[in-house]
Structure formats: structure tokens, C-alpha cells
Structure 1
Amino acid sequence: MNHTTTLSAQPRRTRRIVFLGLAVLCVASAVFVVRRPLMMSAPRCMAGQWHGCFDTFNGVVLMTLVALPLAVLVVWALAHRRRAAGVSRAWRRSVAEVGMVHGTVPFVWLTMMPGAEAGTAPARVSLVPLRDLVTMGPVGIVGNLLIFAALGFFAPMRFAALASVPRVLALGAGCSALVETAQYVLQLDRVSSVDDVLVNATGAVLAGLASRRWWCTAAPASSDRPRSVPTHAPAA
């Protein structure tokens, strides 16, 4: 192995370890801060009861955290399978795929939770931009920014076709519009608001900009596919 290559790989390995340590520390700190509300849903979640677990904010957040080790295990399995097959960027691809799912599905689930008068209250639509923004409050704005943040962060890392700000914006806005349409069609006692689409798309773009240095900037090449051992024709 080239000595220069070894020296250049060491700082990258150190940065990865530091980044992973900071991520674990942030998650642990967040769990410590909200541990009491989350523990209120723990008995019902551990018993597999729908009511009080999967239909509450605390229950969904708790189950998301509980499933985090499983998500890490899936990343490890995918990455090692790809590395064994000779696929390049195995870890980045695996983290991006699992991160998109694990970081987006819980937020969409929370958004699709029905209100108290679901099915009976008439569907409501707000199409005037910025009218509902002033009523969201800081918590509502932050929550809407986070709904498709994981998708905006990881999708450009996995798919070269999405590695541009306008495409991340279109992805976030399109997914948000689908959610708002589903809320209206299913009569979930929620307001389908254009401001939700705007804030959701903004969150996706901001998260995408945060991961820009890791974007997949080229279409999958032959090096991204499993490597095969070349065969040579026998000499004449």
C-alpha cells in the first residue's frame, strides 16, 4: 500500500469517528432532555398497544429511537454486502438509503395522524401563501422544516439525478403536496395548507445544502457495479 495513501486515509477516518461521536452525543442529549415525556408512552409501546403509542407524538418518537439500533444494523449489513461485491461508495449509499427512510417515515406518520373529528369534519384548504405561517409558532415551523429534512439531506447523496438545489426543492415540494392532498382526501381533520408545502420544501433544501459536500455528482459508472474478474483468452 502506498504510504501517502495511508497518511491521507487517516484524517478521513478520524473525521468519521469524530462525526459519529458527535452524532451519538447529540442523540443521547436529545433523549435525555425529553426522556420523561417519552417514558409516558413506553408501557403501551412495549405492550404493542396502538392507542397511546402509535397514535401519539411521544409514542412515535419513542419507537423511532428504539428502532435506531436496527437502522444502524441494516446500514452495516448493506454496506458490507456491497463492499464484498466490489461496489464503490458502499457506506455512503447504505447510510443514505436507510437515513431517508428512518428519518422521513416517522414525520410523515405524525403528519398523517387524524384529528379528533376525522371523517366528520369537512376538509379544509388554505391556498393563500404566508397566511398560516404566522399562526404556526416556533414549534410548528421547526416541525414542518424537519418533515422532509432527512429526505433532502440523503437523497442527493444517493441519487445523482437529485444532486441540485432546484431538484431537491422540487422533491420536497412534491412530497409535501402529496401529503397535503392525502390529508384533504382522507378528511383527517387537518388543514391542507400551501404554507406547509413551502416550509417543508424549505427544510428539504436547507438539509440538502448541509450535505452538499457528499452529494453524488456523477451517474453510476462501471466502478459502481460489482467487479468481475477479467477473463483472458488462451494464447494461440
Structure 2
Amino acid sequence: MLLAWDLWGHVVIATLLTIPAGWGVAHLLTRWRERSNHPEPARTAYADVFIVIGTAPWLWMILTPGDPSAPDRAVGLVPFHDLAQVVTGPAATAFVQVGGNLLVFAALGALLPLRSQKLARLKIVAAIAAAGSLTVELLQYGLELHRVSSVDDILLNTTGAVLAAVMTQRWWAG
């Protein structure tokens, strides 16, 4: 876990520092949307800002170059193959890898349905999260980041978004 902090502690700190600024940006965006007669200006402004704040750090981590001694590109196209290797390895690695992948689009999944009633369906959340995750995996591959582009990451990212959406379902209509 200490290695994880050494690698990503700066991302955590930067994220925590953006939260107060996010409240201010969301407040200003709400006022601007009120003047534009936007429907539900506060709800959409706060959802928009915190989708970005909750997703950007994960994307920062995913798109950071990996171990330079690893191959430029690696691809895992067999579902659950890479995941099986991770979960049968060290518990700390499995926790970080699986937990991290579940959290990548969790903010999107939780807040997208709150942002718009048109997006308040699990199938839509899953489709948007899967498209975003596929885009990230293609970027990892195309940018030669010494990371594995895996279908399992797409499955976990999408699952995390859907689980987060399920957890906020009772607030969708409110």
C-alpha cells in the first residue's frame, strides 16, 4: 500500500484540493444557468462538476505511463483472463486493481442519472461508461503507455459505474 501512495499520493492530494474549488465552480455555473433559464440549474451544475472531479483523477492514473521495462503495448481480449490473474495474485494488488477499476467511472455512474432524467436508466449509464472505458483503453494502446489494454478493465469500469448508479437510484427522481 505504501508503494501505491508513493505512486499516486500526489493525485489524491490534487483531487482533494480541487473539491473546494469544485463547489465554487458549481455555484458559479448554477448562477449562470439560472440566468439562462436552464432547467434544474443547481442539480445539473453540481452533477457536471463532480462527475469531472470524481473521474479525472482516475483517468490521470490510467493514462500515466507504466513501467518502461514493460512492452509498449499489451492487449487482453479474453474476458476474465487478466482479472483471474490479478485476483489469484497478491491480495493487495487485487484490491488496488479491482477496486481502482470499479471506481474509474463511479462518479459518472452515480451522478449522470441525477444530472438528467433522460440518462436515468442503467442501460444508458452502462453504455456511456463502456464507451468511455473503451476510449481509455484505446488511448492506452495508441499512446504506447506500457500498460495492458484489457477487456476486463472495460468490464470492471462499466460495472463500477452501474453499481454507483444503482446506489443513487432513489435520488434520481428527486
TM-score past 0.5 threshold: yes
Give, in angstroms, the shift of residue 111 of structure 1: 0.5
- Percent pairwise identity: 40
Q: CA–CA distance in 1 between the matches of 2:142 and 2:66?
A: 14
Q: TM-score, normalised by structure 2?
A: 0.85
Give, in angstroms, the shift of residue 122 of structure 1: 3.6
Q: Which protein has greater RCO, CA pairs closer than 8 Å, 6+ apart?
A: 2
Whether 2:15 is the aligned partner of 1:58: answer: no
Aligned partners of 1:158 and 1:216 also within 8 Å:
no
What stretches of structure 2 of length at least 5 have no aligned partner? 88-93
Q: TM-score, normalised by structure 1?
A: 0.64
Structure 2 residue aligned with 1:148: 105
After superposition, where does 1:188-227 map in structure 2 within 5 Å? Answer: 188-215=145-172
Aligned partners of 2:72 and 2:145 also within 8 Å:
no
After superposition, where does 1:1-236 map in structure 2 within 5 Å? Answer: 56-117=7-68, 121-134=71-84, 135-136=86-87, 137-215=94-172
Give, in angstroms, the shift of residue 190 of structure 1: 0.5
Considering fraction of residues, name the structure with more helix. Answer: 2
* SS across alignment from 2:144: coil
Aligned partners of 2:117 and 2:172 also within 8 Å:
yes
Pick the structure with greater CA Rg: 1
* SS across alignment from 1:61: helix
Q: Which segment drifts farther, 199-208 or 70-79?
A: 70-79
What stretches of structure 1 of length at least 5 have no aligned partner? 1-33, 41-55, 218-236
Letter in 2 for 1:187: E
Q: CA–CA distance in 2 between the matches of 1:166 and 1:116?
A: 36
Letter in 1 for 2:120: A
